[in-house]
Structure 1
Amino acid sequence: MKYSFLFLLFGLAIASACNNPKNANNNSETTDGKTAAKTALTKSFYKRLEGTIAGKKVVMHLQKVDDDEVSGTYYYDGSWLNLSTDTVIGKDSIILAEYNFYESYFNQNSKSPLLTLKWNGNGFDGIWESGDKTKKYPIALTEKYPEGSYPLSIGTYRDSVSAFADRAKSPTAEIGFQYLENKSNDEDGKWLDSELKKIFGLEKVDRLTGFKNITADYFSDYKTEVAEQQKDGRGSEFEAWMNYTNNSQQTVNYNDNGYVVVDFLTDAYTGGAHGNYNSSMFCLDVLNKKQLELNDIVKIDSNTLASILERNLRKEYNIKAKDALNTFLFDDFIKPNNNFYFNANGIAFMYNPYEVASYAQGQIVVFIPYSDVKNYLVPAFKQRMKIK
């Protein structure tokens, strides 16, 4: 039965919202227009922000759910950086920790830079401070949606069930979904919203109905798993491992030039030493109503691309030329996969745990700047992305 949980997680591509009325939180924000009107900061939101950090231009994507969970990304100084909640100060002020995977990989004792942000009605003002507190830079960000970018709302759905209904302290199975939604009624908005639903395997039903159906199947399988363990006399032995979780979330990595890039992250624990997680990248061409394939971006033979991948892998993970790749990976080579994404500066390939390296090494991401593949870029893509 354990495999049925994984099928639900990775095959059906679970979403995010709140089934339990006690936990329901469908507060969301959709902003129309090129620059957001001055508004209060809502409990849940997605925001595309333009501005500067230390005087350098950035585009930041921030998402917030459940009052205190904030995550985001932005590109700055040669690195694609992740952001997560450090401290929620109040309704309009937050401190985010900046996470650079490559730096933390080589220096586990490094302290993350912090971004202290205060909402001003149509953006954030604040301070960027280095982890060692020796550098501070001003932050100025404004919520904007220029032509070719799309306002989105965010919602959540959660529910749980007890393994033993007659016990006060029973193991539980919990399921959670965090989803993006486009509520525009124009052709682009309707297509984008349909594709966001398809990521979860929801095509013919609305989100709430779809999430309820997935949740019901998940809970049914969980109850069957518990019953089988009890029948085999393994209940007390395995009870500590019966606290199952199943979560998924959509986040925006890029939202410009008629493209929306979505990271669909799923994670689950179904007993054992640790859970597992997986990111699937979806590159949506809203203008042409299609999901991009790699050959829509670059026309290049696999051997040449593999060579470029290896060069950037060695650079990013500090693997010396004299060292074989299998000192870091399972094999002595790395091949491009279909789990790619892009931003204003380049293309990245995402390798999930166990795909090319051990679970302990986490996700392996290899970023290739456009300058490394400039002779192979598809002209239409190059023109839309304004790549010189």
Structure 2
Amino acid sequence: MKYPLIFCLFGLAIISACNNPKNGTNNTESTDSTTHAKAELNKTFYKRLEGTIAGKKVVMHLQKVDDDVSGTYYYDGSWLNLSTDTLIGKDSLVLTEYSFYESYFTQDFKSPHLALKWNGNGFNGNWESGDKTKKFPIVLAEKYPDGSYPLNAGIYKDSVKAFAHQPKSPAAEISFEYLESKNQDEYGNWLNTELKKISGVKLPADRSTGFKNIATAYFKDYKTQATEQSKTSRGEDFQAWLNYTNNSQQSVSYNDNGYVVIDFLADAYTGGAHGNYSSIMFCLDVKNKKQLVLSDIVKIDSNTLQGILERNIRKEYNIKTKDALSTVLFDDFIKPNNNFYFNANGIAFMYNPYEVASYAQGQIVVFVPYTDLKTYLVPTFAQRMGIK
């Protein structure tokens, strides 16, 4: 997944709630992600990158909206997450590499960094460990082989004051970071429709209209709540809890072999000690124009899959055989859910805060390599993915 726990506060409520543009203007931005003529980075982009880090073949998905860069990459296993550390001029950036497991379970963990310079067709740079004892070269090129899809990234955002005539009024903010297909053929159009639906846009509306409609409903509800609280609360202390936020982000976890896997990350703050956040994973079979369900990938009974999940969560979260799973989870078991996604190496199951563990643990991700599932993989899926 795509983003450090500490800066992602996301809630599923955004799917059915919320959203409008600043002072009635359209703040939608989108740019061409495949322009290589200039050796400088666009303000907004999505890039699918292939290359090597420390000589290992990697696939990276990177997107930038304004001054926020996020993404993931993988080589022989699960995803490593990337977020902005520093932007340098118009062609260079430093990213922080984030792993759910190491940062939470390793005391005094220091995140590695990737220093990247855009050359017009890709990035060159270096990967450096958090303790600065290791440094490896990075060579990446932007590529879209057959079965992958070029995308544009964009953002729509707006805000409204709770009390219009108060100079220091609390406010509600809303934003949609979205992806759109560049291709205009039948597959690109189908993908674009699915991406709009994931963001909550009611068809046949375009994104700008859809986002504005969602924002209008959100702001109407917000102002109603603010007015009610102002009638029942004394003093102005209550206003500190009225700076609401409602944000969503679409990002790519996989983009190959006719599949596009989207992480829809949503967060909301509606007062209280902290907000909440969650990811819903959408596995889109663009080639066949359908959303995958788990049985399209593996044919396996839930008890067998549960056992495989429990073995892998022990490995990933370093839970010894003699220790109960409840040292990390609420319970001494973990059941498969429908919030799954995949890459070239295996399938992952995403569990959002409070689903199987406390808020402090954040999202629990259990990655299962295809080697653990070989006898259960659906042959057509295995063939398309090149799994032998």
Would the TM-score normalized by the shorter structure come out above 0.5?
yes
Distance 2:339 2:23 in 1: 33
Please say if 1:325 is aligned against 2:330. Answer: no
Moved over 4 A (4+): 5-8, 17-23
1:347-386 equivalence runs, <5 A: 347-386=347-386
Deviation string 1:121-174 (CA, Å, 9 cap, x unpaired) is: 110011111111111111110000000000000110111111111121111100
Distance 1:212 1:62 in 2: 27
Distance 2:226 2:12 in 1: 18
Partner of 1:311: 311
Deviation string 1:47-104 (CA, Å, 9 cap, x unpaired) is: 00011111111010000001x2100100135442000010001110000011111111
What SS is found at the alignment partner of 1:226? helix
The one-letter code sitting in structure 2 at the alignment partner of 1:11 is S
Partner of 1:223: 223
Distance 1:7 1:312 in 2: 27
Deviation for aligned residue 1:10: 3.4
Identity over aligned pairs, percent = 72
Q: What residue ranges of structure 2 are gaps of 5+ in the alignment?
A: 1-9
What SS is found at the alignment partner of 1:201? coil
Cα pair 1:19 1:159 within 8 Å, conserved: yes
Distance 2:242 2:308 in 1: 45
Is the alpha carbon distance of 1:299 and 1:266 closer, same or farther for their aligned partners in structure 2, counting shifts above 3 Å? same
Partner of 2:15: 10
Please say if 1:123 is aligned against 2:122. Answer: yes
The one-letter code sitting in structure 1 at the alignment partner of 2:378 is V
Partner of 2:146: 147
Cα pair 2:15 2:200 within 8 Å, conserved: no
Cα pair 1:226 1:235 within 8 Å, conserved: no
The one-letter code sitting in structure 2 at the alignment partner of 1:177 is F
Aligned residues: 377
What SS is found at the alignment partner of 1:375? helix
Partner of 2:86: 87
Deviation string 1:228-286 (CA, Å, 9 cap, x unpaired) is: 11122356342110100000010000000000000000000000010000100000000
Distance 2:90 2:26 in 1: 19
Distance 1:234 1:252 in 2: 46
What TM-score, normalized to structure 1? 0.93
Partner of 2:31: 28
Distance 1:96 1:23 in 2: 30
Is the alpha carbon distance of 1:100 and 1:233 closer, same or farther for their aligned partners in structure 2, counting shifts above 3 Å? closer
Partner of 1:201: 200
Cα pair 1:28 1:42 within 8 Å, conserved: yes
1:1-388 equivalence runs, <5 A: 9-11=14-16, 19=22, 24=27, 26-31=29-34, 37-39=36-38, 40-66=40-66, 68-76=67-75, 78-202=77-201, 203-234=203-234, 236-388=236-388
Deviation string 1:297-334 (CA, Å, 9 cap, x unpaired) is: 00001000000000001111111111222232112211
The alignment's C-alpha RMSD in Å is 1.9
Distance 1:76 1:247 in 2: 30
Distance 2:111 2:11 in 1: 33
Is the alpha carbon distance of 1:172 and 1:345 closer, same or farther for their aligned partners in structure 2, counting shifts above 3 Å? same
Q: Return 193-202 or 21-30, whichever deviates more.
A: 21-30
Distance 1:123 1:25 in 2: 26
Q: Return 223-232 or 144-153, whichever deviates more.
A: 223-232
Cα pair 1:8 1:218 within 8 Å, conserved: no
Distance 1:292 1:235 in 2: 52
